[in-house]
Amino acid sequence: MPKIKLRAKDQVIYDKITEAYDKTEIIQRQPKLTIGRWDFVVFGESDNTDFVIREGFAEHASIKRAPIYIASLAESGLTNVNGIPIEEFVEEDVPEKYSGLEIIQVDPLRPLTVVKKDTYAGKKGLDKICRDYESVNIAVIRSPHETDWMISVMKYLNECDQSFPDPVQQAFSSRSSNNIFSLGKSRSSSNRLN
């Protein structure tokens, strides 16, 4: 049940994002997961052959311990996705101006936080990074270039979501008549990673 949906302003950027996603390597998954938190270290080669490393986490945002989700709405029939009528999802009265809208996607809000950024010199940096984190409860992710770090982390989160789906998303997708959560190699007409 992948959650990556990115819109690119043009085909060149879309192709760069797709390439970064495809070339990302998950070296180590976080052995012990905590609900709502994903720790990572992501690194990639810089333009001068050093490795830039970022250590951080993604955490499901919440307000007073209630998790925050983002719902994508569309007018019925305007997308190639069949959603759930908003009237079925909202228990209160739906104002007339919103009637007929469909919820086409529900995603948790998970900001990425970097707590440490460092540079490892030369080609031996890769070995040092792997050694330093091999026994730590953290995901180790290699991005094709250090500037692609956030795309690489999103790929890791996507893989975690496939293995350990979010219960709210599961409930939503089981009610949705069309599986919109695929991440295949095909490109949609709206230049999104689906």
Q: Which CATH number goes with the domain that contains 133?
A: 3.40.1530
Residue 4 included in any domain: no
Percentage of residues in the chain having pLDDT higher than 70: 74
Residue 159 included in any domain: yes
Residue 189 included in any domain: no
Is the whole model's pTM more than 0.85, yes or no?
no
Distance of alpha carbon 115 from the chain centroid: 19
pLDDT digits (tens, 9 = 90+) for 162-172: 777 777 767 76
Token pair 């228990």 in the structure block, residue = 91
Residue 188 included in any domain: no
28 vs 123 pLDDT, higher one: 28
Q: Cβ(112)–Cβ(157) under 8 Å?
A: no
Element (H, E) at 131: helix 125-133
Residue 121 included in any domain: yes
pLDDT digits (tens, 9 = 90+) for 108-119: 778 899 999 999
Q: Provide mean pLDDT across the span 150-178.
A: 77
Residue 3 included in any domain: no
Mean pLDDT (the chain, rounded): 78
Residue 150 included in any domain: yes
Residue 60 included in any domain: yes
11 vs 24 pLDDT, higher one: 24
Q: Judging by beta carbons within 10 Å of its beta carbon (0-12, 13-18, 19+), is residue 66 exposed, middle or buried?
A: exposed
Range of the domain at 59: 11-64+110-165
pLDDT digits (tens, 9 = 90+) for 128-145: 888 999 999 999 999 999
Domain tally, the chain: 1
